[in-house]
Structures are given as structure tokens and as C-alpha cells.
Structure 1
């Protein structure tokens, strides 16, 4: 809804629609959730989108609208498909570990992808200048991990207890949020080749452990 409102405002803007005016450049922050569950497969941007949550479906709809508006108006809009964001502050896994929340048992676990917030900010700036209009980019680091392994790694680095493992059937009764449960239903490995080749990205934190070690806490 917010994306539609913004598009409506931009379309009505006399400044942006006037002849001879500077071309609008922008980046739409979408989600890798537009691919849905891919059973752990490697997923490039050409993979069929199959959003399986209302949240991801809204993002996919917004992608189409921004791409259409870009073609119609000549706007240079890049589409970034972003997975789990983490950093040393608000998005650190530390708080979740301290609460002792469980992760899936190994046989039920899913592959997740991540990007450090500082790397994401730099990629957004690069995309403003270098993204091909209407083109989508997977934005992630080089360390696709099973979700449980991600939290185990964080626990080891922080000196905390590793989270308990539960079967998928028990996860809903384990105090997990509906959003976390939705993440536990989807598994994929994002291919970031296009991001590196076309946007010229050099990751400061190519692996999760490097980003987690930047946490001063």
C-alpha cells in the first residue's frame, strides 16, 4: 500500500513528469521471499517467483509496479531482493540467543541467506548509479547457512549457549513469532553473481562470522 501511494505521488508530480527534467533514480528494497520455498536450491534472479506469504506477495506486486512505472516514465529503478539483515546493534542475533528460543532440528532445518546492514547500505548507493533500470539483484553475502548453524555460530562467537533444537511440528508451540515461523518454511541459496558483476560490489563482510565479530558487545 505504501509503495502504491508513493508511486501515485510521483506520477502526479509536475517536477518529475515535466519535459527536460532530470531522470528519477531510485532503488526498491524488495525481499528474497518473492521466490518462496526453493527446497534449498541455488536461486538466481531468473528463477520463477512464487511468493508464499502475504508480505512477500505485496513486495512482488510492488516490484511489478515500480518496473512498469520505470518503463512508462523513463525512471531508473533498480530492484534489490534482500534476505535477512543483521548488524552489531538492533539486528544482532544476540538477543534471540539470550532468550533461549529454539531452532529447527537438523533434519527439518532450512537454508537462509544474510547481508550485513553496512554492506546493504553501500550496495543501495552503488545500485542508484549502476543498476540496470527494472533489473532485479539478489543482495546477500557469500555464506548461505542452515538457520540453526547460523545461530550456533553466533552463540560460539558470543560465548552463549547454543539454542535448543525442535522438530518442525513443535516449532509453533515453542514461542516463536509468526514471522520466524514463516522463515522456517522456506529454504533457498541465493546466487549473488549478478550483484557483484553488474554493481561492482566488494563485500566488507563476505561471511557471517566476519560481520558477527564486528559486534562490539
Structure 2
């Protein structure tokens, strides 16, 4: 199977580490020539697409692809991949699967209640509204084509090198408390197995929540990471007093619990890390947090 990736970012690279051997050919895009050179040194066939200009060889790789994975976010009111490559994608002769990585942020604020894939999106921010528009555009393309399009709405992503252990160890962790606030999370290894399961049994115009089993307060995750490392957790800081970027503060505007039943019933996925506790323990065992302390 030939795979082409728009946006060789963190989550996709973790997917390739786990499942790259399943593909005959893997290629994808990055935003700069410098990044392309670095990725080539890692053995990935890489082309530049910065949302405006693109390497013309990308068209050939799309034509050869059996699977297309898209992790580039929308830019303003348009999806950059569809804006530049919709014709090439629609006419790709071998393509049978497209996966678009979205976010559970499209559900907006649910006052801490449960949402699932049947819940109407209610995006609270411009970024989330742009995500919904991109999802709809990809699904519309799938309705007109012979390949299957899947939307994956990801919860808060963590994994090797990017997690609460690392933040506690390097002193950047903050234990911000907003009463009643909860978030779902998802380990990159579980994102990877969901994507692979979907490729093996594609379903036309499917939408999947990719989240763990236990939505919880963010300060609890930091406290648990500190406990695993044998360190004192950072002091609690009330949300209204916390020094945060506008983007970080906007993250707290949505409060919901995300159901993940569909990835289990339709794709047969059993999460490797059903809660942050199992995920952080495995990351600690692999050296995360410990490496940062030396």
C-alpha cells in the first residue's frame, strides 16, 4: 500500500514509527526546504507544500497513493489541501482511503456533558468553525468519489517527548484549576492503531472520536505525573489568575466529555492506554521525564 501524507507532523510521525513497515511507499509534505532536508535524512520521501506553493512532484505521488492522510489544519476559510489538490485527489486512480485529522473542539462547550459523533457540532471559536467547514468539504468530496473518507476528531494529544512528565521534569508544568473543567486525551499509539484499523476496514464518510475512556481535570494529570516522578507537584493556580496565552485560555472555553464507543464497535479498537495513568506510566518506563532530569 502506498501512503501519501499532507503534513508530516508529530502525530503522523508517531504513526509511521509504529506502522510504517505496513506500507510499500511513504511520502509526504512539510512546510520548508530545511524541514524537507531533515526528513529526507530520516529516510522519508518529502516534498514542500507551505499552503501556497507546492512541489509539482506531489501530483505524481497522489496519483500513486492508495491511502491519503491529511493533518494540515485549515487556513482562514479554506482547506489548503483541497484548494490546491482537490482535482488530483478526486481523479487518483488507486486511492481507496482518505483520513482527515480534526479535533473534538468542533463540539464546542457542552457544560461538562457527554458528546458523541451524533452530537451536532457547536464550535465556539473561529478555529473550530474552520475545522467544521474543512470536515464538510472532505466529506463532500468523498460523497462524489469512489474512495472512503474518514474524519478523526482527536482529543488532547500526548505521547513520547510531549506529555505531562516532560513538563513536570523541565519545570514548565502548570496546575491550573477551573472548577468542573474536564478534558479527554489520547496517546499517539492509540491514534496510530485507530488509523490503521480504519485503513483495514474503511467506511464511507465515517466520523470517529479518538479519545480515551476517562475525561478528567487537567490539574490531576499534572499531579499524577509529579507523583510518578517522585516530585512535588506545582502549586495550584486559579484559572482566572493563570498567565496563559490567548490560545491556551481559549482551550478552556470548551468543557465536555467525549464518548469513544464508535472506534471500539466499528473498528474493533481496544485502547492501549484507556486513561492518562496507563499512558504516563508507559512513557515513564520508556524514559520520558527521567531523561529531562539529567
Determine if the TM-score, normalized by the shorter chain, exceeds 0.5: yes
Structure holding more helix per residue: 1
If asked which structure has higher relative contact order (CA below 8 Å, sep 6+), I would say 1
Once the two structures are TM-superposed, the CA of residue 16 in structure 1 deviates from its matched residue by 4.8
Q: Tell me what 1:55 maps to.
A: 127
Q: Which shows bigger deviation, 3-12 or 68-77?
A: 3-12
Q: Which shows bigger deviation, 47-56 or 25-34?
A: 47-56
CA gap 1:24/1:11 in 2 versus in 1, 3 angstroms: farther
TM-score (norm 2): 0.65
* Residue 140 in structure 1 maps to residue 211 in structure 2: yes
Q: Tell me what 2:176 maps to.
A: 103
What is the CA–CA distance in structure 1 between the aligned matches of 2:273 and 2:220, rounded to whole Å?
A: 18
Q: Tell me what 1:182 maps to.
A: 250
Unaligned runs of 5+ in 1: none
TM-score (norm 1): 0.87
Q: Tell me what 1:4 maps to.
A: 79
CA gap 1:154/1:7 in 2 versus in 1, 3 angstroms: same
Once the two structures are TM-superposed, the CA of residue 109 in structure 1 deviates from its matched residue by 4.2
Query: Please, which of 185, 191, 206 is the counterpart of residue 274 of structure 2?
Result: 206
Aligned residues, how many? 208
SS in structure 2 of the partner of residue 145 of structure 1:
coil
CA gap 1:100/1:122 in 2 versus in 1, 3 angstroms: closer
Query: Please, which of 138, 144, 166 is the counterpart of residue 72 of structure 1?
Result: 144
For residues 36-83 of structure 1, the C-alpha deviation after alignment (integer angstroms, 9 at most, x for no partner) is 111111111111211112222221111000000111223311101101
SS in structure 2 of the partner of residue 111 of structure 1:
coil
